[in-house]
Amino acid sequence: MLARQKSWGKTDMKYYAQEALLAEGWTADVTITIADGKVTAITPGKEAGAVELNGPLVPGMTNLHSHAFQKAFAGLTEYRANPEDSFWSWRDSMYRLLPQLTPDDMQIIARYLYIEMLRSGYTSVVEFHYLHHQPDGQHYDDAAATSCAVIDAARTVGLATTHCPVFYSYANFGEKPAAGAQKAFFHTPEQFVQLLDKLHQQYADDSSVKLGIAPHSLRAVSQAQLNELVPWWQQHEAQGPFHIHIAEQMKEVNECVDFYGARPVEWLYDQVDVNERWCLVHATHLSDQEVKTMALSKAIAGICATTEANLGDGVFRGVDYLSYGGRWGIGSDSHISVNAFEELRLYEYGQRYTHQKRNLLCDEQRPHVGDYLWTEAVAGGAQVANRGQGSIAVGEDANWVVLDRDVAELSAVAKESLLDAAIFAANENLVRDVMVNGTWRIENKHHAEWEQAQEDYRQMLKRLAANA
C-alpha cells in the first residue's frame, strides 16, 4: 500500500490573480486569502506579501463519474469483433479483464489516472466503485480492500475523492441472479452497510475523502432494495450523495418499460425522493416529460460525453434540459479520454450536431459558451461530490486551476474568452498549476509522483498484456 498523505492543505497564504473567474464572474486584480484549505477572504488589488499566480485562475473541476480500473482497458476494443458490436459486447470484453486485477493493480491504475485528472484540471473525483471482490465472488480478507486501494491512491496524489461504493444485487430486471464476473460486484444489504461503516470510520478524520452510495442501476437493484436503501442513506449521512446509472442504452429503457411499465427516470421519481443530492449518470434516453421532471428536481445529470460517444450510447438532450434550468456536471467514466476540456467541447458539439445551430449551451448571464460550460460543470460536480458550490468564493474549498497564457491560443484573448479558447481551440495542455484544498499538486505542469506512477502503470500493463 502507498504511504498516506500526512497533512492535507494546512497552508495559510495570500495569492494575487491578475484575472480570476470568481463566483460573480471574471474579475481583474484580486488577492485571495486561504487558510486550512479554504478561501477566507477576497479583496481588490494586490495585498502585501501576496504570491502572484502564474496565469488566469479558474475553479477546479469535479469529475463526477469514474470507474478507475476501466482505465487499463481504454483503447483495447477499437476494432470490429462482430457486426453487432455495441455497449453490451464492450461490457463482455471489459468483464474478461476483471479476473486479472488485484487490489494492488487497482491502486497502480488509480494513482496514474488520478494524476492525469489533476493534470487536466480536475481537482476532485467521484469514484463509482463496483469491483469489490475476487473473481469468484469471494471477499478479500479485508472486505474494503479495493475501496481502500482507490481511496488511498487519491489521497497519495492529492485528488479530493467522493467514494461511492456500488450496491449491485442482480444481473437484470426481475431479480436475475448476478452471474460470472458480476459476482465480484455483489453485496447483501448487510455486507454493504458493513462496508460503509468501515469506510466511514477509516476516513472520518480526512476531509479530502467523502462518501456517497451508488445503487448501480435499476436493473441491478430490486424495487424493495431501492426503497430501503434510499431512506437509510438519507438518515445515515445528512449530505451524502446518491449516484445511479439511469438510461444509457435503449435496451435497458425498453426492458424497464417491459418490467415496470414505466421508463427509468419516470419510474425512479415515482419510487423515491430524487433531489439535489442525486446524480443521474447517462440520462441519455429521456422522454419530454422526463427531461422536465429531472431538470425541475435539481438533481444533476452526469454527462460523460467521450464515453457516451465511444460506447455508442447517444446524445443527452442538453438544449431541452437547459430550457428548464436543468443542472449537470461531467465525468470521464471509462476514461477513454481524461480531459475536462474535451468532455465539455464534445457536450456542446453533440448539441450542434443535433440542432444544426451554434453556441447552444449558454445563457443570458453567460453568453460565452466556455464560461457557461465550465462554471455549470464545476457547480454541478461540486454539488454531487458534496463539496459546496465549487466556485472561488469565501468559505469554499481552495480547489483551483491556473491556466497557461503562454499557450498561443490563450495568449491574446480577453479574459471573457479564455475558456472559449481553452475548450474549443487549444490542442496542448493548458493547465499550468493545480491546487487542491489549499495545497499545490501540479506545479508548472508537473506532479511530483508522475514519473513513478507512469513506470508502475507501464509495468502493470505489460503484465496484463502478457497474460491476455
Give the per-residue contact string, 251-270, with Zn ion (x = CB under 5 A; - = no): --------------------
With CB under 5 A, what is the number of residues at the site for Zn ion? 1
The catalytically annotated residue of 245, 282, 368, 447 is 282
Residues 310-339 contacting Zn ion, CB under 5 A = 333
Q: How far is the CB of 47 from Zn ion (least distance, A)?
A: 44
128 vs 372, beta carbon nearer Zn ion: 128
Q: How far is the CB of 340 from Zn ion (least distance, A)?
A: 17
333 vs 397, beta carbon nearer Zn ion: 333
333 vs 376, beta carbon nearer Zn ion: 333
Q: What residue number has its CB nearest to Zn ion? A: 333
16 vs 328, beta carbon nearer Zn ion: 328
86 vs 43, 90, 128, 346, 353, CA distance in Å? 53, 6, 22, 20, 21
Q: How far is the CB of 245 from Zn ion (least distance, A)?
A: 5
9 vs 302, beta carbon nearer Zn ion: 302
* 67 classed as catalytic: no
Q: How far is the CB of 68 from Zn ion (least distance, A)?
A: 11
Terminal alpha carbon distance of the chain? 25
311 vs 435, beta carbon nearer Zn ion: 311
* 139 classed as catalytic: no
Q: How far is the CB of 331 from Zn ion (least distance, A)?
A: 8
Q: How far is the CB of 281 from Zn ion (least distance, A)?
A: 6
Residues 80-99 contacting Zn ion, CB under 5 A = none
The catalytically annotated residue of 105, 152, 313, 333 is 333
Residue numbers annotated as active site: 282, 333
Residue numbers at the binding site for Zn ion (CB under 5 A): 333
